[in-house]
A and B are shown apart, each in its own frame.
Chain A
C-alpha cells in the first residue's frame, strides 16, 4: 500500500493535537478540540479548515468553455468573470461522477473537484477533450486550499490580501496576492455560513493558516465540516451522491440546465423518473440514524436508506438525509428508521435543516 498523501499543513495538524485519519487517500485532521466546539465556533464566529485535499484543476485554451459545457450540468457560458458555479459531472445515463465548482476567469477556467474523484474526473476530462484545443492542468499538488467560515470569517480576513475581498458577492472569486504571491479568494464554502476559500502556493499554506489563527479563527477538522454541511443539507459525494444517483433525484435540479445546449447526461435527465428522492429526516429522540440505516414507513414497509446522519451539534437534534419514494417525501410525513433493531420515530423535514440568519454586510 502506498502511504497516504499529505497536505502542506500536515505537520502543523500533527503538531497541534489533531486526530489524523485517512480520508480519500489523504491523511487529514478529523478534529482538534472536538467536533462539538469546532462546529459551534463556525456557527458563532469563525473556523479554519485545511481543504487542500480537494482537487484543483485549471483549464486553458480556446476550447476550454466547450469542454466544460460538455461535461458540466450547469451553464458555463452564462457565467461572468470571477463567478463560481456549482454543478455536476454526469455519465450518459445521468449517474453523478462528481459534484464540482467551476470558476470563470478572463483568461480561462478552474474547477474544484472532490478528493475521492480526482483521478476519475481527470480521466473523464482527458477522454472528452479529444479533438478540442484545451489544456487541463492538475494543480492539486502545487497549491493548498484553506477555508475560513463563519459569521466573522470575512471581517477577520480583512487586510490580509493585496485587494479587498469583503465586497465579493456569494459565489464570486477574485485573483489577488498574499505575501506578494498570487492567490485566489472566493466567497464560497461547505458549512452553511458566510466565509472564504483561499488557494495559495504550497509554501504559503502555513503562513496563511497562522495569520488566520492569529486573527481568531478556530482550527476545525473534517468531522465538524461533515456535521456543518449536514445541517446545511449540502450533499456529500459517496453518501448522497454516487454514479447510481442522478441530480434530479438528489434535489439538485437547480444545477442542471437542460436548455443550455447538449451536455453529457442531458438526454437521460430529460426523462421522467420514479426513483427515490433525497429527503431530510429529523428524529424525535437524540439517537443518531447512521449511514446505511434502513428507513421504513409508519406501517413498517421498507422505503430506503439513510445516506448521512448524526446528532447535529448546533441544532441539538438527531438529523439525517436519505432516499425514499416521492410519495413519502413530503415534509411532515411520519417515518421510522431501524437502528440495529430499534425503530426510531422520525419526520420528513424541509431542507436545509439550518439556514444562517440574514446579516447586514459589514463594510471592509
Chain B
C-alpha cells in the first residue's frame, strides 16, 4: 500500500482521517511511525468524548519521545481500537500501529459534529509533498 493512499485526508501533524458516511476513522501515518520509532505506549480517549479539530486526542510514546495525537476533525469518539490499549487480561498490541498504521493500527472512529467536514485537511498529494520536503 502507498504510504499516502488517496482514499483519505491528512493533517499536517501526521494523522490520517478516512470518511465513511458521518463516521471518520483516524490513525497516524507511516511517516509519523517512522519518526517515532517503535511505539511503546498509547493513550486514547474514552468513547463518548468530543473534540474540536486540532484538539489533543491522545498521546503516543516511543522509547525516545512522547508525542500528542491530534483530532483531525471535530466530533465525538464513537469507537476506539481496543487492541491498542491494555484491557482486562489483555496487553496492548502496539505492533499494529508499527506494522500497519494505515489499516489495523487505526486509533479511533469519530462521528462528525454537525457541519464539520474534512475539507481543511490535506489531500494525499499535498501531504506527500509535505513529507517529501521534510
Q: Which residues of A contact B (CB under 8 A)?
A: 31, 34-36, 39, 223, 227, 285-288, 290, 310-311, 313, 318, 339-340
Known: A34-B37, A34-B38. A313 touches B66 (CB 8 A): no
CB pair B66 A288 closer than 8 Å: yes
Given contacts A35-B63, A287-B59, A310-B64, 13 further A-B contacts (CB under 8 A): A31-B37, A36-B63, A39-B63, A223-B64, A286-B61, A287-B41, A290-B66, A311-B40, A311-B41, A311-B62, A311-B63, A318-B41, A340-B66
Q: Which of B43, B59, B63 contacts A313 (CB 8 A)?
A: B63
Chain A residue nearest to B59 (CB atoms) is A287
- Determine the distance from Cα of A34 to Cα of B35 in the docked complex, in whole angstroms: 11
Write out, one digit per residue, whether chain B residues 58-70 have a CB within 8 A of any chain A CB (1) or not (0).
0101111010000
- Determine the distance from Cα of A76 to Cα of B64 in the docked complex, in whole angstroms: 37
* Chain B residues near A34 (CB-CB < 8 A): 37-38
Closest chain-A Cβ to B129's Cβ sits at a distance in Å of: 23
- Determine the distance from Cα of A34 to Cα of B66 in the docked complex, in whole angstroms: 16
- Determine the distance from Cα of A35 to Cα of B38 in the docked complex, in whole angstroms: 8
CB pair B64 A287 closer than 8 Å: no
Chain B residue nearest to A312 (CB atoms) is B63
Chain B residue nearest to A288 (CB atoms) is B61
Closest chain-B Cβ to A323's Cβ sits at a distance in Å of: 21
CB pair A286 B38 closer than 8 Å: no
Chain B residue nearest to A309 (CB atoms) is B66
Q: List 10 A-B contacts (CB under 8 A).
A: A31-B37, A34-B38, A36-B63, A223-B64, A286-B41, A288-B41, A288-B61, A290-B66, A311-B40, A318-B41
- Determine the distance from Cα of A215 to Cα of B38 in the docked complex, in whole angstroms: 27
Closest chain-A Cβ to B27's Cβ sits at a distance in Å of: 20
Closest chain-A Cβ to B33's Cβ sits at a distance in Å of: 11
From DSSP, what is the main secondary structure of chain B's interface residues? strand
Known: A286-B40, A288-B41. A227 touches B63 (CB 8 A): yes
Closest chain-B Cβ to A224's Cβ sits at a distance in Å of: 9
Known: A287-B43, A288-B66, A290-B66. A311 touches B37 (CB 8 A): no
* Chain B residues near A318 (CB-CB < 8 A): 41
Interchain residue pairs A-B with the least CB separation, the first 5:
A311-B40, A286-B41, A35-B63, A36-B38, A287-B41
* Chain A residues near B63 (CB-CB < 8 A): 35-36, 39, 223, 227, 310-311, 313
- Determine the distance from Cα of A287 to Cα of B68 in the docked complex, in whole angstroms: 13
* Chain A residues near B59 (CB-CB < 8 A): 287
Within 8 A of A (CB), among B32-57: 37-38, 40-41, 43
- Determine the distance from Cα of A58 to Cα of B134 in the docked complex, in whole angstroms: 43
- Determine the distance from Cα of A318 to Cα of B63 in the docked complex, in whole angstroms: 9
Known: A286-B41, A311-B41. A35 touches B64 (CB 8 A): yes
Closest chain-A Cβ to B92's Cβ sits at a distance in Å of: 8
Chain A residue nearest to B37 (CB atoms) is A34
* Chain A residues near B40 (CB-CB < 8 A): 286, 288, 311
Known: A287-B59, A290-B66, A310-B64. A35 touches B37 (CB 8 A): yes
Closest chain-A Cβ to B30's Cβ sits at a distance in Å of: 15
* Chain A residues near B37 (CB-CB < 8 A): 31, 34-35
Closest chain-A Cβ to B28's Cβ sits at a distance in Å of: 17
B41, B59, B64 interface centre (most CB from chain A within 10 Å)? B64
A223, A290, A310, A311 interface centre (most CB from chain B within 10 Å)? A311
* Chain B residues near A340 (CB-CB < 8 A): 66
Chain A residue nearest to B56 (CB atoms) is A340
- Determine the distance from Cα of A34 to Cα of B38 in the docked complex, in whole angstroms: 7
Closest chain-A Cβ to B31's Cβ sits at a distance in Å of: 14
* Chain B residues near A290 (CB-CB < 8 A): 66
